[in-house]
Structure 1
């Protein structure tokens, strides 16, 4: 079996997303820095207004200048394929080669940067709102990776308030989301059956809460004031590093070394679960590709080996699996970001090959397929988190689930 196919099979991801049928596929190790360019500079979950352009970028580090092709599929709320024909949601054609790519310039690590923009001459626009999956294939029609994204219509106001838990047991560690949905110029028929919601914390679909039902109505407003059903662990602020200049130690970087590539060694982190909360501004797990020397970060940012280390508390069970966690790899847990415990130094260590920029990350544990974000970082109600609420609607007799509204809020002003 070819080495490329071996890598593809080894790094296929079965996501932890609990409400969906279709699974995102993570790439082999020679594909890096997959990011959507939306309305914000940093990479995060892509949620676009209907009609807005879409840009997908990724790097291939094998130096082969391979051809890649894209396919787009429309899905319902539960990530089952919708019954829409491709011509109903796509104006033009997909299964086209990504023609826009450039080789890296003035970098130690050779790579090719691929950029797909929609609309283009073949795929003119996406015509329906809802859930989408974009899949990238190679010349042999083998699936290389896939990513989810959403498109919404602005037909409902979605108000969000972030509150502390009402349960005294979790009042110090959880945040809950209250929602008010008010349709604009449309009638919601039988919303208990036709309306669905998805609540996402920090752009992480793996921990999303789905399908909350409205508790009551006031006029044309649908009110959601759940406690446990809409609660998230608060977590802690993300750690970060910045290596826009790979030749000089910067924020979070202790020292640097040049071998075949640059190596950046970060300061050793400590377990924060038993320490008081400290506010530290972050970008909620996201990352931004940038550099200080080159003109175009897409092709002039180099790849650097980043070395992470964590010192756990004396009572921490060092047989526990610890991972480096963040949106840099779509919140995936696999062998590449799993840390190793060094008994001689009493620390966990791990290394990742990452493109220059500004990154958020944290350390999480995995037990019986359950990710625990607070085991090392702790859970605090004061933590600033980003929340998105997507509102899905399928009218009586409708053929697909459209997204009629998007709400977004921060917990920085959390209240009781």
Structure 2
């Protein structure tokens, strides 16, 4: 028989579980190339207008042709589960098997490509804006991986401008974001409590700035002109390589080798933290799967071992963990993209299995669980970065956080 104390403990545990923050779970090694996007060709953080199709695609390299299922969870601004029932935010049902899959064709690496499109015959659409988690399970109902995405409504204009830092100590290294929120035909009630913002640089949620409060109001407009609180390190342009033809050296690829699979050896990159800024066009950390034959890129693009190398400055502490960083693995840091220092050659190296295409990447360090994107690349205010601002609104008495507007710009025209 349960005692009163036991009942209270179980209730508190259930309450904590229900309202704890949901974090993304990275995929195991046999799952590669998770493309999660709306109607853009390149993979990036899915921020999608309500009513727009959503596509999740991934490759499984174990050759088992396993069954995978998807579940969709609506979340609050802070990524805790919302109190909405499934029927309130989904038109149809989730927890369905992903039926659209194909085996690779004419590739050295055998894999199965799975593709989920929403709407489909079971999940006919998403009815509410806000934060969402897409979770993929195997046939044993074990979580394999999960990804965040956002659905927004076009109910507010969000104006952005990118400025240099006002702090003279960081004027050459940081970029700050100024925001003007202008609702369309309605009043934002008590905005200090009901309005929240999320500022995302280069589609990377790990470095996002959240929940800034409006500083001023002019009529219905909310004005944000923070300095320190809305500042990002400028970073540097991403390195890139293209291997849509795995049998020939191309942009960024120095030489190739055929073993069991093709191996592409990239040019050795240098540490740029102590060098002047040089403009180098990039796609801000994202990637695009493609091949030279213009076939079905999902099943006809092969996997290649890509060999990265970095030559650090003589003063660099080579005991520092260094990682190959980018959207290709959702900006995760793990043993797969951790580099090893070769003392005899004086360089860091890493070998990563990637699907052929066009990739952006950079090198970052990890100290005390803190990622430093500028330790190797440097930080420059001139760097062209992409910025998104999402505006969340929960009116008085409302049960969930809507996303009422999206603003997007780049720092290409940064001003003082």
TM-score range, shorter chain: over 0.9
SS in 1 for 2:229: helix
CA distance in 1, matches of 2:244, 2:358: 7
How far apart are 1:142 and its partner, in Å?
0.6
- Is 1:399 equivalent to 2:384 in the alignment? no
More off after superposition, 173-182 vs 289-298:
289-298
- Is 1:322 equivalent to 2:327 in the alignment? no
Partner of residue 103, structure 1: 103
Partner of residue 244, structure 1: 244
SS in 2 for 1:83: coil
Per-residue Cα deviation, 1:73-126 (whole angstroms, up to 9, x for no partner): 000000010000000000100000000000000000000000000000100000
CA distance in 2, matches of 1:186, 1:403: 15
SS in 1 for 2:358: strand
CA distance in 2, matches of 1:316, 1:39: 42
CA distance in 1, matches of 2:343, 2:51: 54
Q: Work out whether residues 21 and 81 of structure 2, in 8 Å CA contact, stay in contact via their aligned partners in 1.
A: no
CA distance in 1, matches of 2:168, 2:21: 35
SS in 2 for 1:87: helix
Partner of residue 234, structure 2: 234
SS in 1 for 2:170: coil
CA distance in 1, matches of 2:126, 2:277: 44
Which of 1 and 2 has greater Rg? 2
How far apart are 1:294 and its partner, in Å?
4.5
How far apart are 1:39 and its partner, in Å?
2.5
CA distance in 1, matches of 2:47, 2:318: 39
Q: Work out whether residues 37 and 45 of structure 2, in 8 Å CA contact, stay in contact via their aligned partners in 1.
A: no
SS in 2 for 1:237: coil
How far apart are 1:185 and its partner, in Å?
1.6
Q: Work out whether residues 39 and 54 of structure 2, in 8 Å CA contact, stay in contact via their aligned partners in 1.
A: no
Per-residue Cα deviation, 1:200-239 (whole angstroms, up to 9, x for no partner): 0000000000000000011111000000000000000000
Partner of residue 17, structure 2: none
How far apart are 1:301 and its partner, in Å?
0.2
Aligned residue-pair number: 397
CA distance in 2, matches of 1:140, 1:403: 34
More off after superposition, 171-180 vs 35-44:
35-44
Measured on the aligned residues, the alpha-carbon RMSD in Å equals 0.7
Alignment of 1:292-371 (within 5 A): 292-371=292-371
Which consecutive residues of structure 1, in runs of 5 or more, have no partner in the other structure? 1-19
Alignment of 1:148-187 (within 5 A): 148-187=148-187
CA distance in 1, matches of 2:193, 2:293: 55
Partner of residue 40, structure 2: 40
TM-score of the superposed pair, with normalisation by structure 2: 0.95
Partner of residue 129, structure 1: 129
SS in 2 for 1:354: strand
Q: Work out whether residues 294 and 300 of structure 1, in 8 Å CA contact, stay in contact via their aligned partners in 2.
A: no
